Amino acid sequence: MGTKGTPLYRKQLSEGEIINIYKHLVEKNGIRSIERLTGHHRDTIGRLLKDMAEHAEQMNDYLIENLALTPFECDELWSIVKKNRRKLSVTAQLGLRKAMHGYTPA
């Protein structure tokens, strides 16, 4: 990820703000709910979800190491991301497939 206060994914959000959004996702809050809780626009949250999906493998490692999530919690998170972002790019779909439980490389 980045250092505290530096934008991640070329976004104007600090690492703390992004982690806060991730925590709300893990708690199964919807995008509009997260918008109300964090004050960030739903389009910003949606773009963050897309970026997360594209980098899902790296995000899994980060979430497990830095946020102390279990692999099961990460799998639930990716299910939520997949559900909330129905129109994911091919890159994002592949990233999610690689990070979710049961993936076997072709």
SS (H, E, C) the chain: CCCCCCCCCCCCCCHHHHHHHHHHHHCCCCHHHHHHHHCCCHHHHHHHHHHHHHCHHHHHHHHHHHCCCCHHHHHHHHHHHHHHCCCCCHHHHHHHHHHCCCCCCC
The residue behind tokens 């809050």 is: 29
Query: 55-103, pLDDT tens digit by residue?
Result: 877 888 888 887 788 888 888 877 777 776 667 677 777 777 777 766 5
CA-based R_g, the chain, Å: 13
Q: pTM score, two decimals?
A: 0.60
